[in-house]
Amino acid sequence: MTEQLYHQVVTIAEEYLGPAADRFITRQITFHFDKPPQELTAADIPKLVEWTKVTLGLITEDRQVVEEFTRKMAALANH
Amino acid sequence: MKHHQWKYARISLILVIAGWIIYATLNLLAPQTTSARYQLSPTQTLLLQISVYTPLLIIWVLAIRGATAFKSYSLLLQGGREARAMSLIGTGLLWTVVYLLSSSLTGAIVPYFQGTQWLETAVTVRNHAPAWTALIAFGLLYLGSRRLSQVAPFATWNAATIILLIGYGLFAAGFANTFLAAGTETRFGIPSYALPHQVLLFTMLLPYLLAWFLGLLAAINLTRYAAQVKGVLYRQALRYLVLGVLSVVIFAVIVQVLSLASRFFLGFDLARLLFTVYVLLALYGLGFWFVNLGARNLARIENAP
């Protein structure tokens, strides 16, 4: 289930980060949660959303894209 | 954010600057064929040379910085699906810088062999080194661009590419025919070639023609990759990179076509030659500047904590 969640996050991220998505999400999880990406749980999603928002702010100034991306990711916490 | 740099970036920059110093020195100390040709005074010749070498240094530095920025970016992708493709493109871009240096340096050294038994060898090296360097550069760019189809599926060959092939085939046939029909040219005691045209057709012209076509295919592949690949932010960052690589490929091809044609069968007057060289060099440099910008934008995604 947790590995499936990780893949769902990567699939959303691919819409915005293309081939860099997998590396981006893996880095976020290992760096901020100190655990393998496959062990991502629904409880981690809100914190992951916050970190992603901060990190994307360093990459783009397009707030709309950042909001859209993180809103989709946040929805995974309810699944 | 961390800034990863290709470990040979600094030494590459030093080598390019050293190459420029050698090139400028060779030309400044060479027999003044330019002044004789265009009846210029020594002061006018010196000013002319400074006006050419200074922008040339800027172009070369922009080129090596763009190519090493791309190479640095490709190293961040280790393990990624596009890693090998981007690495090949980065190496191809580095070879386009080697082309810039080899074509200039081999051309600058030839006058020093005037009147010696080595003149024909020097002319042969000058004619072949840039051709084979261009083939390696564009071959690598093509191979890298082709591999990108494993990341975002696209087809190189479709109706538009076939039309391009036919058009290019006609151009190549016309170019080869004009080359074969051109007479022997010796300017200020330096022959334009030292081997029969029939031999040069295969050893020099064919590598050029193949290189230019591979360069055009690489440009097509990159454009299609940029249109097909997923990722809103990735595509935004990729835009400058693609624009840069396209400019480098297209202007490199134009520079090579013109320099080859002017050496063998076209006569330019000084004003037109200088204008053409300035415009092309500026656009070429701009292409590498875009490569640098694009590579740094993409590296921001890879370096984001």
Q: In this predicted complex, what is the ipTM?
A: 0.91
- Contact of A31 with chain B, judged by CB distance below 8 Å, is answered with yes
At B20-35, the pLDDT tens digits run 999 999 988 887 655 5
The mean pLDDT value for B102-125 works out to: 92
Q: Among the listed ranges B19-28, B29-38, B103-112, B284-293, which one has the minimum average pLDDT value?
A: B29-38
The burial class, CB within 10 Å (0-12 / 13-18 / 19+), for B244 is: buried
DSSP lists the bridge partners of residue B190 as: B187
The answer to whether B291 and B67 are in contact (CB under 8 A) is yes
From the list A15, A20, A31, the residue facing B302 with the nearest CB is: A20
- CB contacts < 8 Å between A and B, how many? 64
Encoded tokens for B263: 């050496």
DSSP lists the bridge partners of residue B191 as: B186
From the list B226, B211, B239, B229, the residue with the least C-alpha distance to B297 is: B239
Give the number of other Cβ atoms within 10 Å of residue B260's Cβ: 19
Do A19 and B302 count as a contact with CB atoms less than 8 A apart? no
pTM to 2 decimal places: 0.89
From the list B266, B114, B262, the residue with the least C-alpha distance to B188 is: B114
Q: How many residues make up chain A in this entry? A: 79
- Contact of A34 with chain B, judged by CB distance below 8 Å, is answered with no
Do A19 and B81 count as a contact with CB atoms less than 8 A apart? yes
Average pLDDT, chain B: 88
The answer to whether B100 and B62 are in contact (CB under 8 A) is no
Rounded Cα distance between A51 and B293, Å, is 26
From the list A17, A31, A58, the residue facing B231 with the nearest CB is: A17
- Contact of A15 with chain B, judged by CB distance below 8 Å, is answered with yes
- Contact of A30 with chain B, judged by CB distance below 8 Å, is answered with no
Closest-CA residue of chain B to A13: B231
Rounded Cα distance between B99 and B290, Å, is 19
At B148-175, the pLDDT tens digits run 999 999 999 999 999 999 999 999 999 8
Rounded to the nearest 10°, the torsion over CA A56, B88, B58, B127 is -170
Dihedral class, residue A36 (left if φ above 0, else alpha if ψ from -120 to 50, else beta)? beta
From the list A14, A31, A62, the residue facing B231 with the nearest CB is: A14
